[in-house]
């Protein structure tokens, strides 16, 4: 099946700033379920093997979208590098939810899309954002979390927190690029001001969508216990653990192969099967 790829569409969000999105979809007369991939912390739409995953979803009959959060550190001019660390430091959960809403609004109105079949796939922190959005937005009928956190309350502790509050910024080194990436204190203030909205546990309990929870057993960044917990919070969800898979299901940046790593391919096929069963043949109108 021939796949159309539209790269680097500029999306405008008046609440944040412009950012980029990609769409992958098959050439067909049929209306397609919309699948939106939400990247995680220090992630971006073109990281690793996400392009290959996008192509596979399109081949399977989905309109697949991936995008850069407006304040993830990339820019419209350079979507592959953390060129704007000031923006990165000024990112917060409210901005990410706003960006995600704009992406849903934009692509649900594309002529090829069945706006009654919208799915979010969130990786890592993007999983937490996707869970919140699913609880808030009745348009979301499917939710898949990949190596997701079970709480957005992930901040420095004790003396480190006090130093952050006093100095107004703390830095984390990016292991791949060795950049010192800033986090301004506004990030915590945004969380504190929206504490109930950002309660991932409550949102997982409230989620009315079909839910698939996926995690690797060898995740070095987010323990698979997070996904065990999410599954317990939403007993109607399905839990899929991938043996020996790490946080990115054995993909890495850069990914130079023209095929996905086995573990990510396994996850992708599981997601496609799940959506075919739960979303494609259902009537949500």
pTM for this prediction: 0.98
Q: Is 229 left (phi over 0), alpha (psi -120 to 50) or beta?
A: alpha
Q: Residue 79's closest CA among 61, 95, 67, 62?
A: 67
DSSP 74: -
In this predicted structure, the answer to whether residue 186 has a pLDDT above a threshold of 90 is: yes
pLDDT of residue 285: 58
CA atoms of 136 and 118, how far apart (whole Å):
14
Residue 281 above 90 pLDDT?
Answer: no
Residue 248 per-residue DSSP state:
T
At residue 284, does pLDDT exceed 70? no
Q: CA 22, CA 72: separation in Å to the nearest integer?
A: 16
For 43-69, write each residue's pLDDT tens digit. 999 999 999 999 999 999 999 999 999
Write out pLDDT tens, residues 74-102: 999 999 999 999 999 999 999 999 999 99
Which fold, 3-280?
Rossmann fold (3.40.50)
Q: What is the pLDDT of residues 16-30, one digit of tens each?
A: 999 999 999 999 999
pLDDT exceeds cutoff 70 at 273:
yes
Could you report the per-residue pLDDT of 244-253, keeping only the tens digit for each? 999 999 999 9
Compute φ and ψ for 204, nearest 5 degrees. -65, -40
% of the chain at pLDDT higher than 90: 98
Q: Is the pLDDT of residue 4 over 70?
A: yes
Choose among 69, 67, 53: nearest CA to 3.
53
Which helix (H) or strand (E) element contains residue 22?
Answer: strand 19-26
Render pLDDT for 120-173 as a digit per residue (tens, 0 to 9).
999 999 999 999 999 999 999 999 999 999 999 999 999 999 999 999 999 999
Q: Which residues contact 203 (CB under 8 A, 6 or more apart)?
A: 131, 132, 134, 135, 136
**3 Rama class: left (phi>0) / alpha (psi -120 to 50) / beta:** beta
Give percent above pLDDT 70 in the chain: 99
Q: Domain boundaries in the chain?
A: 3-280
């Amino acid at each position: 099946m021939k796949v159309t790829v539209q790269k680097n569409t500029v999306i405008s969000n008046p609440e944040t700033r412009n950012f980029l999105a990609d769409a992958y979809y098959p050439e067909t007369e049929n209306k397609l379920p919309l699948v939106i991939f939400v990247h995680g912390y220090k992630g971006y739409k073109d990281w690793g093997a996400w392009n290959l995953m996008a192509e596979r979803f399109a081949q399977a009959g989905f309109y697949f979208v991936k995008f850069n959060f407006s304040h993830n550190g990339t820019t419209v001019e350079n979507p592959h590098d953390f060129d704007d660390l000031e923006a990165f430091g000024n990112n917060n959960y409210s901005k990410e939810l706003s960006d995600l809403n704009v992406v849903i609004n934009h692509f649900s109105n594309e002529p090829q899309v069945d706006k009654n079949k919208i799915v979010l796939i969130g990786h890592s922190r993007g999983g937490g954002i996707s869970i919140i959005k699913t609880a808030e937005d009745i348009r979301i009928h499917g939710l898949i979390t990949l190596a997701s956190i079970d709480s957005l309350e992930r901040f420095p502790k004790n003396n480190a927190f006090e130093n952050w509050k006093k100095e107004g910024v703390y830095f984390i080194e990016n292991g791949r690029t060795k950049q010192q990436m800033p986090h301004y204190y506004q990030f915590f203030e945004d969380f504190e001001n929206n504490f109930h909205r950002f309660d991932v546990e409550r949102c997982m309990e409230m989620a009315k969508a079909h839910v698939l929870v996926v995690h690797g057993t060898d995740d070095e960044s987010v323990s698979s216990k997070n996904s065990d917990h999410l599954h317990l919070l939403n007993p109607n969800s399905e839990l899929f653990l991938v043996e020996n898979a790490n946080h990115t299901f054995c993909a890495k940046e850069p990914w130079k192969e023209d095929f996905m790593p086995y573990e990510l391919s396994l996850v992708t096929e599981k997601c496609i099967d799940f959506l075919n069963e739960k979303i494609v043949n259902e009537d949500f109108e």
